[in-house]
């Protein structure tokens, strides 16, 4: 594993801000993402994945 975190970006769920690797504690962040723009879309990505999982027939337990 590389120690170079220069291209890691995170979305801070408490502040709503995008931050580099050296930002807040990991429990408050989503990521890593490869760009600030990608990190800014973190909540959109979570919603898209949740919808995909909700509609995945493999996980139907009704």
Higher pLDDT, 47 or 59: 47
Q: Report the C-alpha dihedral over residues 7, 8, 13, 17, rounded to 10 degrees.
A: -20
Q: Could you give the strand order of the β-sheet that contains 29-33, starting from the edge strand earlier in sequence? A: 18-20, 9-12, 29-33
Measured in residues, the chain has a length of 62
pLDDT at 37 over 90: yes
- The answer to whether the beta carbons of residues 4 and 15 sit under 8 Å apart is no
**What's this model's pTM, rounded to 2 decimal places?**
0.76
Determine how β-strand 9-12 pairs with β-strand 29-33.
antiparallel
């Amino acid at each position: 594993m590389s120690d170079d975190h220069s291209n890691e970006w995170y979305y801070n769920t408490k502040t709503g801000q995008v931050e580099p690797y050296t930002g807040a504690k990991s429990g408050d962040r989503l990521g890593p993402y490869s760009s600030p723009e990608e990190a800014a879309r973190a909540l959109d990505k979570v919603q898209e994945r949740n919808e995909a999982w909700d509609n995945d027939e493999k996980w139907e337990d009704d």
